[in-house]
Amino acid sequence: MAVFTSMYDPMDKDKEKLMNENEELLKDMLDFAIQELEDNEIELINQMKVCDDYQSIFECLKQRALKRQGKSE
């Protein structure tokens, strides 16, 4: 069982391997996940604002990924 400390910690090796093995599907997987967030009752919050359309959800996820990598835009 993996210990979860922070979503901004680097990805563990097992998850990274899974991503690498399925790299050709990641665009479609991300598109599907964003559409699900857009169409369902799950809310993604970014700087006290609900991300409720495709563009705002994408930008929120992008900012979180950059933060995880120690970068900012």
**In which residue are the tokens 């479609």 written?**
28
2, pLDDT greater than 60: no
Nearest-angstrom CA–CA distance, 57 and 35: 9
Q: Rg of the chain's alpha carbons, rounded to an integer?
A: 14
Determine phi and psi for 59, rounding to 5 degrees.
-65, -40
Per-residue pLDDT of 38-70, as tens digits, reads 998 888 999 899 999 999 999 999 999 999 888
Cβ distance 56 to 46 under 8 Å? yes
Read off the pLDDT band of 26 (50, 70, 90). very high
Tell me what the pLDDT averaged over the chain comes to: 89
Give the helix ranges, DSSP H, for the chain: 13-21, 26-39, 54-68
35, pLDDT greater than 60: yes
